[in-house]
Amino acid sequence: MKLLVAYVACAAAVIAAQTFPDVPFPRLLPGAKLISTKQINEPLELKQAAADEEAVIAGQSYVQQTYDHKNQIIASAFLQHYRDQLFASGWKLIDVTKLDDVSMQPETVNVAAQYRENRRNVYVRITRDPVGPYRINVVDVGAEDWAATLAAVCRVRIHSIHFEHDRPIIKEIESEPTLLKLADLIKSKNTPPVRIEGHMDNIGESGAAARETLSLGRARMVAAWLTTHGGVPASKVFAEGLGRSRPIAENDTDLGRALNRRIEVARQDCKR
């Protein structure tokens, strides 16, 4: 997976080993020093769940870069630095800690955004502790090799198709880059017909039947988008709702439930 390019305020010094020449990442804080770079093999949580909104996660893995900075900066200035630069560079903000919250809980500083220009699909989450290092986490969904995964294990999990809270309605603006990538995969002559599987968590008062109905509705919405907007032949996609029957994480945390609420694409010619 490609890593992050970061530019110090007054110089175009390359910090990461690989580059994103076509993605406008924000400048580092003056005096920032790269401490470590590592790949984390799990989806990136970009926004925690709220009472009326589902958590936002993306990707199959992400790169995390940790920085130290000699010139300490107050939390509100840190927040404004990255929030304003991301917004000005064409990123769509997903989650930003409110300045009022910073004054009450200075350890809570988070800026998350998505870049989806020119069919790119990159997510970033920048976090800072009260003192010490800060972290820049990057997911490049466009670089994920879904074809190889589908060929190797007969299915691929997709966490960057976003839905309205507890409804089978796709958030199309945020999800379009992922849906286009998925359409290209399925249209390939090397890809056999697939099932679009909807999976759910066990949250809420509704029972298993209701969760199955919702999962089927979401799977059908994805399949319909692919055939209507993505140019996928209807004969290559089938929708199935599996409800909460196949969790991949515990349902006792917001992140665990977000991981269980997912779309999977499975080859029809493979055993279940």
Res 15 pLDDT > 50: no
* More confident position, 1 or 165: 165
Sheet with 122-128, strands from edge to edge, namely 32-40, 62-69, 134-140, 122-128, 109-115, 92-96
Res 29 pLDDT > 90: no
pLDDT digits (tens, 9 = 90+) for 40-98: 999 999 999 988 899 999 999 999 999 987 667 788 888 899 999 999 999 999 999 88
DSSP readout, 66-125? Answer: EEEESS---HHHHHHHHHHHHHHTTPEEEEE--HHHHHH-TT-EEEEEEE-GGG--EEEE
Mean pLDDT of 24-45: 91
pLDDT digits (tens, 9 = 90+) for 161-183: 999 999 999 999 999 999 999 99
Q: Using 50, 70 and 90 to split pLDDT, how confident is the model at 263?
A: very high
Please tell me the predicted confidence (pLDDT) of residue 265: 98
Res 119 pLDDT > 90: no
Count Cβ atoms below 10 Å from residue 102 Cβ, excluding itself. 20
**Which residue, among 4, 15, 16, 52, has the nearest Cα to 166 in the 3D structure?**
52
Q: Using 50, 70 and 90 to split pLDDT, how confident is the model at 204?
A: low
- Report the distance separating Cα 37 and Cα 3, nearest Å: 9
Res 226 pLDDT > 70: yes
User: Residue 170 forms beta bridges with which residues?
Assistant: 163
Res 1 pLDDT > 70: no
Count Cβ atoms below 10 Å from residue 37 Cβ, excluding itself. 16
Res 237 pLDDT > 90: yes
Count Cβ atoms below 10 Å from residue 75 Cβ, excluding itself. 20
For residue 170, what is the DSSP state? B
Please tell me the predicted confidence (pLDDT) of residue 3: 36
Q: Using 50, 70 and 90 to split pLDDT, how confident is the model at 6?
A: very low
Q: Residues of the chain with pLDDT > 90: what percent?
A: 68
* Domains with residue ranges and CATH for the chain: 32-142 (no CATH), 145-267 (3.30.1330.60)
3-state secondary structure of 25: coil
